[in-house]
């Protein structure tokens, strides 16, 4: 659990240093997968994390197609500032993970509680707000992209 949170923090720091739209989209997809892994560990139900991946990745792919149609192809360069930030984060993440390995214990009460949570329904009252937010996110992305790409005005970037 702690390692996934460390990876998520590292990805957030790296995201701030990215410049090209393609690398940003890839980083958002990776962050969505890490968030879904954290969610599945907390809720003990993979249905909610599966729905999260489907909604977020579909919205990101719509935005990616729009950005790829108007953005020019740029070379991906690894900057020294990114490496200087990434190296200490990797070392800290490794040290934190080794520390947690020594302190880990199996708790039978937690296992029993997780068994009960597995049987929860996907759209119960506890998770209705995040579900509505995901549905509204996908709907808003669809409306925004359909307004931006109008078929009567033609493509935004001319092909040679």
- The vertex-108 CA angle with 126 and 35, nearest 5°, equals 40
- Where are the domains positioned within the chain? 2-148
Tell me how far apart the alpha carbons of residues 74 and 23 are, in angstroms, rounded to a whole number: 10
Global model pTM greater than 0.75: no
Q: Render pLDDT for 121-149 as a digit per residue (tens, 0 to 9).
A: 656 677 778 778 878 887 887 787 777 77
Q: Render pLDDT for 44-99 as a digit per residue (tens, 0 to 9).
A: 667 777 877 888 888 777 777 777 777 666 666 666 776 677 777 667 666 665 55
């Amino acid at each position: 659990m702690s390692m996934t949170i460390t990876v998520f923090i590292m990805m957030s720091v790296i995201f701030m240093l990215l410049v090209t739209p393609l690398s940003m989209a890839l980083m958002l997809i990776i962050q969505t997968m890490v968030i879904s892994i954290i969610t599945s560990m907390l809720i003990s139900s993979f249905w909610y994390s599966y729905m999260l991946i489907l909604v977020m990745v579909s919205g990101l792919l719509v935005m990616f197609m729009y950005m790829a149609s108007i953005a020019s192809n740029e070379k991906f360069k690894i900057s020294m500032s990114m490496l200087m930030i990434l190296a200490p984060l990797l070392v800290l993440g490794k040290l934190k993970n080794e520390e947690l390995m020594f302190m880990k214990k199996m708790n039978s009460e937690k296992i029993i509680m997780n068994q009960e949570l597995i049987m929860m329904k996907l759209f119960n009252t506890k998770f209705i707000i995040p579900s509505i937010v995901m549905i509204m996110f996908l709907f808003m992305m669809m409306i925004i992209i359909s307004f931006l790409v109008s078929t009567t005005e033609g493509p935004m970037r001319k092909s040679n």
